[in-house]
Amino acid sequence: MPEIFINGKPYQAEPDQTVLQVALANGIYVPYFCWHPQLSVAGNCRICMVEEEGRGVDIGCNMPVKAGMRILTESDEVRAHRKAILQFITLNHPVDCGICDKAGECTLQDYHYQYNGTPSISHDRKVTSTKFYDLSDRIVLDNERCIVCSRCVRFTREVSKSNGLGIEERADGSLVRPSTDGSFRDDPYSDNVVDLCPVGALLSRSFFYKARVWYLQATPSVCPGCERGCNVDIWHRKPEWFVQSLDAAENTAIARVTPRENAAVNGPWICNKGRDLARIFERKRAGQAMLKGRPVDLPNAVAEARRLLAGAARPAAVVSAWGSNEELEAFRAALGGRVTVVTRQDHVPEPGEVVEDDLLIRADKNPNSAKLRELFGNAAATLPADADLVLVWGEGFEFARIPPGAKVVLLGSYLAPENGHADVFLPISIQTERDGHYTNFQGVVSGFAACFPKAPGVADAETLFAGLAGGGP
Amino acid sequence: MTGRKVLMNFEVTPTSHTLEAYLARGGYQTIAKVLRELKPGDVTKEIVASGIQGRGGAAFPAGRKWQVVDPNDGQPHYLIANADEGEPGTFKDRWILENSPHTLLESMLIAAYALAVRNAFVYIRGEFDQPYRRLAAAVEEAYAAGYFGQGILGSGFSCDMFIFRGAGAYVCGEASSLLSSVEGTRGYPRNRPPRLTVKGLFQRPTVVNNVETLSNLSWIMQHGAEEYRKVGTAKSPGTRLISISGHIERPGVYEVEMGYSWAKFIYGVCGGVPNGRKLKAVIPGGISSQVLTGPDAKIMTPEEVESLTLDHDALWQMGSSMGSGGMIVIAEGTCMVRLLQVMLRFYHHESCGQCTPCREGMGWAHRVIDRIVAGQGRPEDIATLRYISKFNDGTTICGLGDAAGYATVAFLDHFRDEFEYYIEHKRSKYDGRLECLPEAAHA
């Protein structure tokens, strides 16, 4: 283990590390744009300059550690170079932070205030370039803001392997462009380039001009899109910035979804489906308990369901792979001994969806199939033909499979035609309205927190089960 | 005469580039002797002993580069002749490729043998048409005669030769971006470490040498390092091909022994500055080397330039370098501001755009000098050009940013009054011409 000195203090380093990695690992911040822990070293932004005593300045991201080397990260020479690099980078950057989605979380903005802080010394017109260039129907590129760090290009080459992006032209006319075969458009991980972009050059269509990031807060969550269970942050409006007069629905809307780094599950990436959680969660909600389509209040509906359940001789239950660990355990504790359990996959791959690949996406499109298997083993996949009551939990169940004459108690979150056909319909909360955990296919348990208050009239499934079992024999 | 000859030691005729003519002047005998008598290590020792310096611009000792490669390390090695001659003012490799391509091929065989290279490449500039056709014909001739392929000349040594044509990027003359280009990717230079002799083409040890450097090898192996040392000066042995252009009576490619007098070369051999005009400045080795002399220069006067000798050390002492041997002569009355504009336009156009200082800096410098030439200069523009140059020095991935900066600063140092005059009076101190016309036309 070579020992190196940074700003006079000794630090232990691994032999294959670079100076930048050692510095960052020990809490010494060295600015960087193009370097990324998951990507290859490009060394093109040149801002991670450090000074090796006796050898002058060079970039830290490509400087292998040597035993005894003496590094300065804040010498006058280093500061002068950082400042100059920022002068160069901002030379043709439009500095339109006022209308830039990235403002507030932009690396260039941060570095400018921290390491430069002076206006440009240039008197010449900026080089103009393409604005609003659609790399795909998901990603918008602003070439004027681009600092050509090549992170996005390396991402498509090294991580998503679509080779969907490249750089065209030369010098200050360099342009990031998609490949002509459309491989970037079809890249299921393309949205990660928005997070990778250290400036506001790559922007998400779905978040385009939608909110300033300082109006938003991030709530840790788990993507329910497949059994990988990628850790995500769901961004939504802070209560102090709630919209009072206009479209109040914005206050409980998902503004965007970003990956939350978890080396054991998803690393720093998520797929495009995970970015589109709003498409899953923001469907029309069912908020009214019903008996055969007749609206009733929730306690009455629960009482009716309890009565039906108590009276059933051979009750069965279809358990949801979208239930959290807590809900599944509550179900087993309350009803597990009473009913014949049937498990199933609530969601199956949609037409056109990537079924499975070797990066993140899994074929089982439900978040908690692993916990389901753990609790109920290999429960039957089909309902017993003699069941006289079926409790259906979750969406998309084919009612044709219910034995004729059996009573149906349905727990659902979204408006669906079958809600009105059930003998009892109980509206339940969705993932963004409650806390809980999912177990992914590797056995890693990830937690999610409530982002929004519960929709009016709905109940948590976790508490309902106790109520359903409460009056039973 | 310009001293002893190593490369231009034959009469150029319409057929002197063919294999037949090359064999008639003793060609391919050296490689036969090397394969018969020497071990790879002996060749490298001889090259190190000869002290030959790279002719591409940096004058790095070629032998030292070779010594890093271990021929017996079991991995493939590559040898590449850098014929991407893009430095403005330089056209010496072109002469070799057009008139004696077999000298290069035989020398590359020697180098390939010394470095255990199975596949050798010539990376030739895309714009070179005649040189390419001559080289391609020469490779075919050499294959037909059994100088390339399996078991060359009955020995156990095999080597194949590939010609790779560039696509018109100046930056691909830089060794690492040349490799990127050969690999089929964008011609971006690579960060060092690792050095190319450790991880080069396809991540294997690779030696990239200039065409002229390599072409010297057959002579060195034929006559011996000791004999080669006797040519030129002690520190810079050998000869240089100098391509001289600009305001000179007889431009062209000349072979000059190291240490030859500038005055004799410029005024004697090349006929001096035309139209009876005086010498103002000389760019000694392609536009990336620092311009020499000028009224404001503290280091020298025009007379001193003429007392100079043509070798690396003499020029390094003057704060310039022999560079690629592309000498540009500049006559009195030439507008140096406009000349710098031409140069910066070139650097802007040819910056590959990979790393920040050069990508943004070259365009910036170009816009500043354009503005000065257009008569909208500001007093602080000179400081801005110096700022751009300073922060391109040592901060870029390859040497092009540094070189552009050095060249710019040399112009500003030596001709400061011209720049200040242009900015203040919004016109050139002279008539703004780059041509060298008779006195009457200037007046």
Q: How confident is the model at residue B433 (pLDDT cuts 50, 70, 90)?
A: confident
Which amino acid, one-letter code, is at A147?
I
Residue A172 touches chain B, beta carbons under 8 Å:
yes
Q: Count of alpha carbons within 13 Å of A308, Cβ hemisphere only?
A: 23
Instruction: Classify residue A443 as exposed, middle or buried by CB count within 10 Å of its CB (0-12, 13-18, 19+).
Output: exposed
- Reduced to 3 states, what is the DSSP secondary structure of residue A240? helix
Cβ contact B46:B30 at 8 Å? no
Cβ contact B284:B245 at 8 Å? no
Q: Residue A232: its pLDDT value, please?
A: 96
Q: Residue B24: its pLDDT value, please?
A: 94
Residue A111 within any structural domain of the chain: no
pLDDT exceeds cutoff 90 at A161? yes
CB contact under 8 A, B356 and A124: no
User: How many structural domains are present in chain A?
Assistant: 3
Q: How confident is the model at residue A377 (pLDDT cuts 50, 70, 90)?
A: confident
Residue A45 within any structural domain of the chain: yes
DSSP string, B366-435: HHHHHHHHTT---TTHHHHHHHHHHTTTTTSSSSHHHHHHHHHHHHHHHTHHHHHHHHHHSS-SS----S
CB contact under 8 A, B355 and A46: yes
Residue B382 touches chain A, beta carbons under 8 Å:
no
The tens digit of pLDDT for each residue in A192-206 reads 999 999 999 999 999
Alpha helices, H only, A358-445: 369-376
Q: What dotted CATH number matches B336-437?
A: 1.20.1440.230
The encoded tokens of residue A8 equal 């006079």
Question: Quick one: A135 and A153 in the same domain?
Answer: yes
pLDDT exceeds cutoff 80 at B302? no
Residue A387 within any structural domain of the chain: yes
CB contact under 8 A, B349 and A88: no
Question: Quick one: A355 and A217 in the same domain?
Answer: no
Q: Which residue has the higher pLDDT, A68 or A248?
A: A68
Instruction: Classify residue B414 as exposed, middle or buried by CB count within 10 Å of its CB (0-12, 13-18, 19+).
Output: buried
Look at residues A70, A89, A108 and tell me which one is the last residue of a structural domain.
Answer: A89
B2-29: average pLDDT: 91
Give the domain extent around A195.
124-281
The encoded tokens of residue B272 equal 């001096």
CB contact under 8 A, A147 and B169: no
Residue A97 within any structural domain of the chain: no
Candidates B353, B357, B380; nearest CB to A170: B353
Question: Quick one: A254 and A296 in the same domain?
Answer: no
Cα–Cα distance measured from residue B263 to residue A6, given in angstroms and rounded to the nearest whole number: 53
Residue A91 touches chain B, beta carbons under 8 Å:
yes
- Residues of chain B within CATH 3.10.20.600 domain(s) are 239-331
Look at residues A264, A281, A298 and tell me which one is the last residue of a structural domain.
Answer: A281
Question: Quick one: A145 and A199 in the same domain?
Answer: yes
The tens digit of pLDDT for each residue in A40-55 reads 999 999 999 999 999 9
Phi/psi of residue A31, nearest 5 degrees: -65, 150
CB contact under 8 A, A172 and B394: no
Q: Residue A469: its pLDDT value, please?
A: 83
Q: Residue B333: its pLDDT value, please?
A: 87
pLDDT exceeds cutoff 70 at B440? no
CA angle B159, B222, B214 (to 5 degrees): 50
A337, B97, B156, B203, B302 from B119: Cα distances, Å: 75, 20, 15, 14, 48
What proportion of chain A, given as a percentage, has pLDDT over 70? 99
- Residues of chain B within CATH 3.40.50.11540 domain(s) are 19-229
Please name the residues in contact with B317: beta carbons below 8 A apart, sequence gap of 6 or more: none
Question: Quick one: A250 and A146 in the same domain?
Answer: yes
Residue indicated by tokens 């309890």: A306
CB contact under 8 A, B397 and A123: no
Task: Give the domain CATH number at A440.
Answer: 3.40.50.740
Residue A215 within any structural domain of the chain: yes
Task: From chain B, pick out residues whose CB is under 8 angstroms from the CB of A81.
Answer: 391, 395
Q: How confident is the model at residue B296 (pLDDT cuts 50, 70, 90)?
A: very low
What proportion of chain A, given as a percentage, has pLDDT over 90? 80
pTM exceeds 0.90, yes or no: yes
CA distance A46 to chain B (A): 7
A226, A326, B118, B282, B347 from B340: Cα distances, Å: 61, 74, 44, 13, 10
Residue A122 touches chain B, beta carbons under 8 Å:
yes
Phi/psi of residue B90, nearest 5 degrees: -110, 125
Residue A334 CB: number of other CB atoms within 10 A? Answer: 20
Task: From chain B, pick out residues whose CB is under 8 angstroms from the CB of A121.
Answer: 380, 384, 387
Question: Quick one: A264 and A142 in the same domain?
Answer: yes
CA distance A63 to chain B (A): 8
Widest pairwise Cα distance in chain B? 73
Question: Quick one: A150 and A214 in the same domain?
Answer: yes
pLDDT exceeds cutoff 80 at A470? no
Give me the architecture of the B19-229 domain, per CATH.
3-Layer(aba) Sandwich (3.40)
Q: How confident is the model at residue B305 (pLDDT cuts 50, 70, 90)?
A: low
Running DSSP on this structure, what letter comes out for residue A18?
B
What is the DSSP pairing of strand A315-319 with strand A216-222?
Answer: unpaired
pLDDT exceeds cutoff 90 at B43? yes
pLDDT exceeds cutoff 70 at B441? no
Residue B191 touches chain A, beta carbons under 8 Å:
yes
Per the prediction, chain B carries an average pLDDT of 90
pLDDT exceeds cutoff 50 at B340? yes
Look at residues A63, A89, A115 and tell me which one is the last residue of a structural domain.
Answer: A89
The tens digit of pLDDT for each residue in A380-402 reads 778 888 889 999 998 888 888 88
Q: How confident is the model at residue B300 (pLDDT cuts 50, 70, 90)?
A: very low
Question: Quick one: A354 and A275 in the same domain?
Answer: no
Q: How confident is the model at residue B294 (pLDDT cuts 50, 70, 90)?
A: very low
Question: Quick one: A274 and A331 in the same domain?
Answer: no
Residue B345 touches chain A, beta carbons under 8 Å:
no
Residue A107 within any structural domain of the chain: no
The encoded tokens of residue B94 equal 């072109």
Cα–Cα distance measured from residue A405 to residue A99, given in angstroms and rounded to the nearest whole number: 61
Phi/psi of residue A282, nearest 5 degrees: -100, 40
Quick one: which H or E segment has residue A391? strand A389-393
Q: Residue B307: its pLDDT value, please?
A: 67
CA distance A93 to chain B (A): 10
Q: How large is the ipTM?
A: 0.90
Residue B368 touches chain A, beta carbons under 8 Å:
yes
CB contact under 8 A, A166 and B186: yes
Candidates A44, A89, A123; nearest CB to B354: A44
Cα–Cα distance measured from residue B59 to residue B55, given in angstroms and rounded to the nearest whole number: 6
Give the number of A-B residue pairs with CB atoms closer than 8 Å.
99
Q: How confident is the model at residue B285 (pLDDT cuts 50, 70, 90)?
A: confident
Q: Residue B261: its pLDDT value, please?
A: 83
Q: Residue B298: its pLDDT value, please?
A: 36
A302, A340, A386, B67, B158 from A405: Cα distances, Å: 21, 17, 10, 89, 86
Running DSSP on this structure, what letter comes out for residue B303?
H
Question: Quick one: A202 and A159 in the same domain?
Answer: yes
pLDDT exceeds cutoff 50 at A363? yes
Residue A117 within any structural domain of the chain: no
Question: Quick one: A269 and A321 in the same domain?
Answer: no
B175-189: average pLDDT: 94
What is the DSSP pairing of strand A290-291 with strand A256-259?
Answer: unpaired
CB contact under 8 A, A88 and B391: yes
The tens digit of pLDDT for each residue in A285-325 reads 999 999 999 999 999 999 999 999 998 999 999 999 999 99
Residue B4 touches chain A, beta carbons under 8 Å:
no
Question: Quick one: A186 and A213 in the same domain?
Answer: yes
Task: From chain B, pick out residues whose CB is under 8 angstroms from the CB of A122.
Answer: 364, 384
Q: Residue A305: its pLDDT value, please?
A: 93
Which of B183, B349, B364 is the best mutation test for A, with the most CBs of A within 10 A?
B364
The tens digit of pLDDT for each residue in A224-233 reads 999 999 999 9
CB contact under 8 A, B395 and A166: no
Phi/psi of residue B438, nearest 5 degrees: -60, 160
pLDDT exceeds cutoff 60 at A473? no
CB contact under 8 A, B396 and A46: yes
Residue A464 touches chain B, beta carbons under 8 Å:
no
- Residues of chain B within CATH 1.20.1440.230 domain(s) are 336-437
Residue A114 within any structural domain of the chain: no
Beta bridge mates, A270: none
A101-127: average pLDDT: 92
CB contact under 8 A, B357 and A88: yes
Q: Residue B299: its pLDDT value, please?
A: 37
Q: What dotted CATH number matches B239-331?
A: 3.10.20.600
